[in-house]
Structure 1
Amino acid sequence: MTTDVRKSWTTSVSDVEDADVFIRGYSLGDIIGNMSFAAATYLLIRGKLPTPGQTKMIDAVLCSVLDYSLKKPGTVAARYCVSGNPSMVAGLATAMLSAGEYTLAPDSAGTFIRNTYDTHRKPGASIDECAEAAVDEIRQTKMRVGGFGHPNFKYLDPRAQKLKTIAVEAGVWGDVCDWYEAVHRAFIKRVTKPEMAINEVGMMAAILTEMSFTPDEMTGLALLSTFPGVVAHISEELQSKTRIRTLPDDIVDYARERKELNRDMAAAGWTA
């Protein structure tokens, strides 16, 4: 008599045996020393070995964020966190939870690129005419465009342009990337903001979409890129021995109205 036991978990990412660990079927012992971190990252996420060009691109992506001083909310939040709870793990978790809609995460840009490309890019048609039609719809529906604009960089974001240069050299630049740039050209023309650059998160999203990464995977890579900087900031904060950071009063506008509790409670219907 046999019993049908259904597996509750299925994974092809890795497997552990008594004497070895296998990553996507490859011995970890063989990977160590023979593959770069960027190549191993691609293997783990995409499930196949990368080409040298793909590896070069992922290495560039992993170096594209690194750190943004104390202008990144996650870094500041992490340092505040460990001033109260001196723990590397707590600080890292805090920094990761601060990434999202308005900073660091390229998933919204990746989703935007994929959706507009699939909807508006017509084979054989002018890419700029298709992009202009897409921008018209974007403006009508007030859709948020991920990856456009930066508080410091105007006209060109040097980080984004370096990613593009490497993508072209590595052979991973393609029609999807051209599409994103065409949408950008049409958008800044429509809104009359030529200074609005494609930022590094937007360029990252375009290139990773071309490389078939999902939006969620893109965000994972962006977070991985920022990890070294966060580790460095948390370490610096821990070594400073600063305890319980607070905001100085001169940068906070406190409401100074004072109220009478007993009077207001009586007015609200409370009895003594």
Structure 2
Amino acid sequence: MTTTTAEITTAAPASPEDRLKDWWSTSIVDIEPGRIAFRGYPIEQLIGRIGFAEMVWLMVRGELPSPAQAALLEACLVAGVDHGPQAPSIAIARMAMTCGVDINNAMASATNVLGDVHGGAGQAALELYLAIDARQRAGAPLAEALEAVLRPLIAARQPLPGFGHRFHPVDPRAPRLIALAREAVAAGTIGGAFVTIGLGVEDWLAAAKNKRLTVNIDGVTAVIFAELGFSPMLARGLFILSRSVGIMAHAHEQAQQGGRIKGPTPPAFGYRYAGPGRRSLTEPD
């Protein structure tokens, strides 16, 4: 079959206005004068009718969660808000406030240090669970999947994210979240595959290391985030959202307490100098 020139149609070029509008494309928010809608819901219908955890879910997932899903997400957000002024992000927020900046600067300074080492363990743990789950989906039993994913990490002496804690023998936040996750499995809110994987990692580690490294806040929230269908990137984002509450509270408290240019320790404690001994430049001839 041949096509004549008359049958060939060419799409009209986009107008400058359309090209400008297409520069940023979003399915999250629709705003016009006098109207604001999130994921299609007018803001006036959301205010006073849904909670903050539900709003978070709507914004990042596009749909509203069930009440049980929202409650499980909120439990994770509550659990991660703070871990004391010795946590680097919290300490930075407090020090920043004593330098005369405002609360937004202190909060930004604090959240900027929440990276792979401090703040990224939940994301890494979820990635670990997904790797184990992928092997199971390919047909491997759990024990084989655990061995295949975890043994190389142990052999390379890499720390396993989400297990053990430098301060707590047992992270006091974890058992309650595990209990809530199990209740959610029993109620049919979540499937339970990642609960099994997370607790399986804990058991595998106990056998491999001959000591029990219990799941911590990062490991258990990663289990719940995986069960709820959040991506690893959002696991980190949700932790930072949660910890921002503690950061804000500490920054505000420090502002009330006052203090000026406070460093990480009182000046009287000093620090250890490890450089060369006292020396001087040779005088020129």
TM range (shorter): 0.7 to 0.9
How many residues are paired up? 262
Q: TM-score, normalised by structure 1?
A: 0.88
The aligned counterpart of 1:160 is 174
Q: Specify the structure having the higher radius of gyration (Cα).
A: 2
Tell me by how many angstroms 1:92 deviates.
0.2
Q: Which amino acid aligns with 1:233?
A: H
What's the CA shift for 1:143? 4.5
**In the alignment, structure 1 residue 136 sits paired with structure 2 residue 151:** yes
Letter aligned with residue 260 of structure 1: S
Aligned: 1:178 with 2:206 = no
2:214 equivalent to 1:197: yes
Distance 1:54 1:259, change over 3 A: same
Shift of 1:173: 5.1
Q: Is the 8 A contact 1:128 1:183 kept in 2?
A: no
1:252 equivalent in structure 2: 271
Query: Where in structure 2 are there 5+ consecutive unaligned residues?
Result: 1-10
Q: Work out the CA distance in 2 between the residues paired with 1:112 and 1:130.
A: 11
Q: Secondary structure at the match of 1:201?
A: helix
Say if 2:132 and 2:145, in contact at 8 Å, map to a contact too. Answer: no
d(CA) in 2 for partners of 1:25 and 1:117?
34
Cα-to-partner distance string for 1:192-249 (whole Å, 9 max, x where unaligned):
222x111011111121112221111111111111122111111111122211113424
User: For 1:114 and 1:143, how far apart are their aligned partners in 2?
Assistant: 18
Q: Do the aligned residues in 1 keep the contact of 2:125 with 2:162 (CA within 8 Å)?
A: yes
Inter-partner Cα distance in structure 2 for 1:50 and 1:188: 36
Q: Distance in 2 between matches of 1:233 and 1:149?
A: 26
The answer to whether the 8 A contact 2:174-2:216 is kept is yes
Judged with a 3 Å threshold, the aligned counterparts in structure 2 of structure 1 residues 173 and 71 are, in CA distance, closer, same or farther, namely farther
Q: CA deviation at 1:189?
A: 1.2
Question: Residue 261 in 1 paired to residue 281 in 2?
Answer: yes
> 5+ unaligned residues in a row in structure 1: which ranges?
267-271
Cα deviation per residue 1:5-30 (whole Å; 9 max; x = unaligned)? Answer: 44211111111122221011101110
Q: Deviations over 1:101-136 (max 9, x none)?
A: 222331111222212321x32576542343234332
Structure 2 distance, partners of 1:184, 1:142, is 17
Deviation at 1:59, TM superposition (A): 0.9
* Percent identity of paired positions between Structure 1 and Structure 2: 28
Structural RMSD (CA): 2.2
Change (3 A) 1:173 1:79: farther
1:4 aligns with 2:14: yes
TM-score, normalization by structure 2? 0.84
- d(CA) in 2 for partners of 1:216, 1:125: 26
